[in-house]
């Protein structure tokens, strides 16, 4: 079974631009979560989607948004990029939004903001 895939793997943008990252979950998984990983802040939860509905949101500004499609694929968008948005963005999928379900992580998208 194919794992979680994220595209693109690397991205370079300039301040003020916007960016869209994509995540395809493991087949049959309906819950998708996004995390931001930086050296200073570590791994921080962005949001969680299940059945096309956002169920949970972390403490990030409104510039960070996401959505989930009917096939469970998910996208996240960051508008008006800032230097501090440079990070590894990880997507994770699980069968359901239960805290007991294992989350399987993709390889991440490395975003660099210049």
Partner 1 sequence: AQSVTQLDSQVPVFEEAPVELRCNYSSSVSVYLFWYVQYPNQGLQLLLKYLSGSTLVKGINGFEAEFNKSQTSFHLRKPSVHISDTAEYFCAVSAGETSGSRLTFGEGTQLTVNP
Residues that bind partner 1 (CB under 8 A): 4, 31, 33, 35, 42-45, 48, 50, 55-56, 58, 90, 92, 94, 96-108
17/111 Cα distance (integer angstroms)? 12
Q: How many CA atoms lie within 13 A of 40 on its CB side?
A: 4
Pick 71 or 96: Cβ nearer partner 1: 96
Smallest separation, CB 76 to partner 1 (Å): 15
Closest listed residue to residue 47, CA positions, set 107, 15, 90: 90
* Closest distance to partner 1 from the beta carbon of 15 (Å): 25
């Amino acid at each position: 079974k194919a794992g979680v895939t994220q595209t693109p793997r690397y991205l370079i943008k300039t301040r003020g631009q916007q960016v869209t990252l994509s995540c395809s979950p493991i087949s049959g998984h309906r819950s998708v979560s996004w995390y931001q990983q930086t050296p200073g802040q570590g791994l921080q939860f962005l949001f969680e989607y299940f059945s096309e509905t956002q169920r949970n949101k972390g403490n990030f500004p409104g510039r960070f948004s996401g959505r989930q499609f009917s096939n469970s694929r998910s996208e996240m968008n960051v508008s008006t990029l800032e230097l501090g948005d440079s990070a590894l963005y990880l997507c994770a999928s699980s069968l359901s939004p239960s805290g007991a379900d294992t989350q399987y992580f993709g390889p991440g998208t490395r975003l660099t903001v210049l």
